[in-house]
Amino acid sequence: MKRFVWPALRWLAPTLVAVWLCSPAHAVNGSNIAEKRHTVDMNTRDLVDKLEKTDPELKAKIDQSVGFGAFTNGGMGILLPGGFGTGMVKTTGTDKKTYMRMFNTPSGWGTGIKTYSVVFVFKTQDGLESFLARGYTLSQYAVDAAKGTGKAAAEVLPGVWMYQLDAKGNVAPELTGKGVKFYLDQELN
């Protein structure tokens, strides 16, 4: 029996990965760079607008920050775990936008479709520059730091706060998403 299972897995796993990488959740809508940037811009604006309506305190923090980032994950996880998302970091007081991607690597197979959004608030210039230069991977430490606060918020790097939002744009009651990686989008920058 083992003789027949392993050969099947040799072609099945790469095929599933290829299908997953070509899925719409991995791609940004648009036929050219300008349209793709516009899509990310609109998604970011919609997310921040929802947030400003539901949490005035967080709106004030964004207004007083050196920058903010907003990301939405497509959350594909039916056959393969994880998913891709897009977002943008905007430097306050300038027109500078840095387009980024996020990749989620959860631990289970077939975990279902999970769409969520995160907002980063950069309190310090060093925090903003560090995030843009190196990206960020959400650690178990950050998830644990947010427990017991009643909100999905944590200082994930010095001077960098992360807020996880539910589907309605409210700050979620708990921070999840350990293993989510944020990195520069080479195509859109």
List pLDDT tens digits, range 92-109.
Answer: 989 899 999 988 765 544
Tell me, what's the pLDDT at 108?
A: 45
SS3 call for 186: coil
| Pairwise CA distance, residues 182 & 84, whole Å | 10
Name the most confidently modeled range: 51-55, 117-121, 126-130: 126-130
Handedness of CA 60, 123, 40, 113 (dihedral sign): negative
Range in 19-28, 108-117, 139-148, 170-179 the model is least confident about: 19-28
SS3 call for 37: helix
Handedness of CA 135, 137, 141, 145 (dihedral sign): positive
Residue type, 27: A
Confidence band of 42 (pLDDT split at 50, 70, 90): very high
What pTM was estimated for this model as a whole?
Answer: 0.75
For residue 24, pLDDT beyond 50:
no
Distance set, CA 170 to CA 58, 67, 152, 166 (Å): 11, 20, 10, 6
- For 5-21, the pLDDT digits (tens) are 555 555 555 544 544 44
Confidence band of 56 (pLDDT split at 50, 70, 90): confident
Confidence band of 60 (pLDDT split at 50, 70, 90): confident
Q: Provide the β-strand partners of residue 21.
A: none
Q: Are 101 and 135 in contact (CB under 8 A)?
A: no
For residue 31, pLDDT beyond 60:
yes
**Domains of the chain: which residue ranges?**
28-184
User: What's the whole-number mean pLDDT along residues 35-59?
Assistant: 86
| Max CA separation in the chain (angstroms) | 64
For residue 41, pLDDT beyond 80:
yes
User: What's the whole-number mean pLDDT along residues 108-117?
Assistant: 56
